[in-house]
Amino acid sequence: MKTYRGEFDFSTFPTLTTERLLLHELLPADAADVFIFRSDPEVQKFNAEPMQHLSEAHAFIEEIRSKQAAQEELMWAVTFHEKNTVVGLVGFDYWNRYHHRAEVGYDLAHAYWGQGLASEAVKTIIDFGFQRMHLNRIEAGTIADNLRSVRLLERLGFRREGTRRGYSLEDDGTYHDSAMYGLLRCEYRKALHRRG
């Protein structure tokens, strides 16, 4: 596989810093924190079933870490500066090195919604994705009614590319559409230019 100058190579985990947050490697010891938001029905409303047992959080972290070791995905634990509690996750999965694309994912404990924290974290990993993972395209799929998620993507410049109709059976017992979003490196560069 071709590598690029400055490309991230997994030799050390890339800890990232934002104005308010520290994004670091997700560790087995983080299971209890992850369980708190992944077992919350409000956070999981448009995602997988809420976790019922702490063991599911351990298995979830184990799976992420093994996919990371296989260089298939990259996930960051979100904490505040100088506090160890993990309050969310942001990362890339479905990383396709040949086509230079990956899918972004994000979730945050409910208590921290509405403060711009998820956008701050996702923007930072998008920078990392374009600059250090040499991505050409970052995509995202979100339930169309997940309006916070839709606003986050559109705020960061993602374009809606289509709708997968009747994609998922949600808590209200009906099928909901999934909205597909994409952001290309060239669009992102232009937006950065405009921002100065």
Q: Provide, rounded to whole angstroms, the least separation between the CB of residue 150 and ligand COA.
A: 9
| Interface with ligand COA, residue 84, by CB under 6 A | no
Strands 88-96 and 74-80, how do they pair? Answer: antiparallel
Q: Provide, rounded to whole angstroms, the least separation between the CB of residue 181 and ligand COA.
A: 9
Q: Which is nearer to ligand COA, 24 or 38 (CB)?
A: 38
Burial 83-100 (b: 16+ CB within 10 A, else e): eeebbbbbbbeebebeeb
Which 88-127 residues touch ligand COA, going by CB under 6 A?
Answer: 106-108, 113-119
Residue type, position 138, single letter: I
DSSP one-letter code for 98: T
Q: Provide, rounded to whole angstroms, the least separation between the CB of residue 160 and ligand COA.
A: 13
Q: Provide, rounded to whole angstroms, the least separation between the CB of residue 187 and ligand COA.
A: 19
Alpha-carbon distance of 131 to 5, in angstroms, equals 10
| Interface with ligand COA, residue 26, by CB under 6 A | no
Q: Provide, rounded to whole angstroms, the least separation between the CB of residue 12 and ligand COA.
A: 27
- Any residues with CB less than 8 A from the CB of 187 and at least 6 apart, and which? 157, 159
Contact characters 44-83, ligand COA, x per CB under 6 A = --xx------------------------------------
Residue 41, CA distances (Å) to 78, 81, 104, 149 in order:
20, 27, 21, 16
Name the token pair of 139.
């995509």
Q: Which is nearer to ligand COA, 21 or 184 (CB)?
A: 21
Alpha-carbon distance of 146 to 78, in angstroms, equals 21
Q: Which is nearer to ligand COA, 14 or 116 (CB)?
A: 116
Binding site for ligand COA (CB under 6 A): 43, 46-47, 106-108, 113-119, 142, 146, 148-149, 151-152
